Amino acid sequence: MAIVQVSRITHRKGLSDNLPQLAGAEFGWVIDERKLYIGNGTLAEGAPAVGNTEVLTQYSDILGLADSYTYKGEAAGYTVQTGPSASAPVSRTLQRKIDDFASVKDFGATGDGSTDDTTAINRALFQLFCRETNSEIRRSLFFPAGTYLVTEPLKVPPFCRLYGEGSSSSIIKLASGASGNYVMQTADSLQQTGSNIGDSSATPPTDIEIASLCFETAKSTTAVLIEDATHMIFESVDFKGPLAQSDLGTAAADLALVRFGSTATIVTSSIVFERCKFSNATYAFDADEQIEGINVNNSRFTTLYQGVLIGTGTPVSGGPQGFCVTQSLFDNIRGEGISIGAVSNNMSGYNIFLDVGNNFSGAGSAITPVININGDDNVSVGDMFERSDADDASYARIALNNKDAFGLDKGQRYKFGSYAREVGKTVSLTTQVSATTIFTMTSTTAPVFSVRYSFYDPVSYALRMGVLNVVGQDTDDSSGTLIYTDEYSENATTGLVLSVEQSSTTISVKYTATDAGTFKYTVEYLG
């Protein structure tokens, strides 16, 4: 197209509030906002609308101007219908689209491992979850990979969701010289903590989700404090302390990765830990407060002085109830994996305990029970143990301490308080003239147990049913001969004779028999 005329370029400058209608092709420079505009011209000249058009510069609000974002889903091979019809798609501004997501870096956090990010992260928590009660302002808060150094606790309010890029990638760490004592603690909707939670009609902490993060403390102090909170989920979260195995010979550091708090009106309850890891501290959990429904599932406990303490101090208002640890792995723990004090209705179930209670020295070095229960109405069921029967004789895998509690030990015996009974076993006995061992057990004390048995000779059809009672050693016998009785009934003579002997810590149940047969038995421990 030939150039008919080139007009002289004109321009103006001034403040934003004084920007006039510019003539066609006339430039206007807004000094205070550093923005550039050009006049559209008149309708008669062919302009589609009278007005000024902004010329984009580095100071333009590009996201605010982009007001026609429509989801297309092009990867599907077709344009997705987003509106009531294909010709009426849903359109949004790009700014609203991007605001669907929030990152702590949007609020000034750096994640560089050296800058104090406390203020920036707490600002994000306040702006997204506390500033207004309108639920539409809430956004999941994302922690991109990095180490976020904090010096005061992060105040986690109700209705928030925090997530990262994995517990080894997104790390929130309390500095060693920090003035605060926690990496994070729960707070109400006004970011009030401690005894102030719920004041001024604030909403207590509730409906909180935290995923794929690491809470690490470089101080010998509690990592996470959960108080006056309900309905809270930690998923794939790493709770990590600063202690090495060499620091865990004693409990002097008293560092618990998670502690709880409750009041009479707000009882912490319904807290779930799923696929989490607890390491490098004195304890993973130390709970004496009144709490209800704490569930730890599919998690790992390692490099600890003790694992989970439930009401082992001074229980408050009945202490923990419904604290359940299930399907988790315990390893490299100096003392008890789980210790339950004078509280009730708590459970260990289907966990695996490897090097636990052995002073970090493995088999043959037992110094504590693996599970220690000192309260009525608690349960250990389906737990499996690396600890051998020999070590179990010194320190029980499950110690019920004469309480009205239940334990199913390694799938081999179940315990009710002071009563224990092994599962039934079957042995084929041959004709024997000299005493031959049927089975052995280990005991560091004078044995007291009963063997309920049956013996059946398939040739003569003779059947004996009996109870072999062992009541300890003969106190009048310097050699310590065991005292036992064999009470039985039989339909014909079986020729079976049972005896019991002890050598050091090994007790042997033996037999002689004139006929072969099948011997079935179970062992009961009384007292």
Looking at per-residue pLDDT, the higher value among 390 and 357 belongs to 357
Segment 119-138 shows an average pLDDT of: 88
> Are residue 270 and residue 412 in the same domain, yes or no?
yes
> Are residue 313 and residue 338 in the same domain, yes or no?
yes
User: Any idea which residue has 């999941």 for tokens?
Assistant: 140
Bridge partners for 421 per DSSP: 414, 524
- pLDDT tens for each residue of 339-358: 999 999 999 999 999 999 99
DSSP per-residue letters across 18-61: G--PPPBT-EEEETTTTEEEEE---TTTT-SSSSEEEEP-TTS-
Segment 106-114 shows an average pLDDT of: 96
> Is 15 a member of any domain?
no
pLDDT at 479: 59
| Average pLDDT over all residues of the chain | 90
> Are residue 415 and residue 468 in the same domain, yes or no?
no
DSSP per-residue letters across 230-287: EEEEEES-EEE-S--GGG-SSSTT--EEEEEE--SS--EEEEEEES-EEEEESEEEEE
Segment 425-434 shows an average pLDDT of: 94
* Whether residue 127 has pLDDT greater than 80: yes
Of 394, 419, 444, the domain-final residue: 419
Give the CA angle between residues 309, 421, 448 to the nearest 5°. 100
Q: Total domain count for the chain?
A: 3
> Is 38 a member of any domain?
no
Of 419, 438, 467, the domain-final residue: 419
* Whether residue 311 has pLDDT greater than 90: yes
> Are residue 209 and residue 279 in the same domain, yes or no?
no
Burial class (CB in 10 A: 0-12, 13-18, 19+), 126: middle
> Is 46 a member of any domain?
no
> Are residue 429 and residue 406 in the same domain, yes or no?
no
> Is 520 a member of any domain?
yes
Distance, CA of 9 to CA of 36 (rounded, Å): 14
> Are residue 191 and residue 253 in the same domain, yes or no?
no
Q: Contact, 335 vs 309, CB < 8 A?
A: no
pLDDT at 1: 42
* Residue 199, domain extent: 101-218
pLDDT confidence tier of residue 476, bands split at 50, 70 and 90:
low
Distance, CA of 250 to CA of 254 (rounded, Å): 9
User: Any idea which residue has 């179940």 for tokens?
Assistant: 414
> Are residue 311 and residue 249 in the same domain, yes or no?
yes
> Is 59 a member of any domain?
no
Q: What DSSP state is assigned to residue 9?
A: P
Q: The CATH number of the domain where 453 resides is what?
A: 2.60.40.1680
> Is 168 a member of any domain?
yes
- pLDDT tens for each residue of 201-247: 999 999 999 999 999 999 988 999 999 999 999 999 999 999 999 99
pLDDT confidence tier of residue 527, bands split at 50, 70 and 90:
low
> Are residue 199 and residue 167 in the same domain, yes or no?
yes
> Is 119 a member of any domain?
yes
Least confident range of 156-160, 296-300, 424-428: 424-428
Which segment, 12-21, 28-37, 49-58, 183-192, is predicted with the most confidence on average?
Answer: 183-192
User: Any idea which residue has 């934003």 for tokens?
Assistant: 16
> Are residue 309 and residue 391 in the same domain, yes or no?
yes
> Are residue 271 and residue 405 in the same domain, yes or no?
yes
pLDDT at 5: 53
> Which amino acid appears at position 473 of this protein?
Q
> Is 40 a member of any domain?
no
> Are residue 211 and residue 247 in the same domain, yes or no?
no
> Are residue 249 and residue 355 in the same domain, yes or no?
yes
Of 385, 419, 453, the domain-final residue: 419
pLDDT confidence tier of residue 438, bands split at 50, 70 and 90:
very high
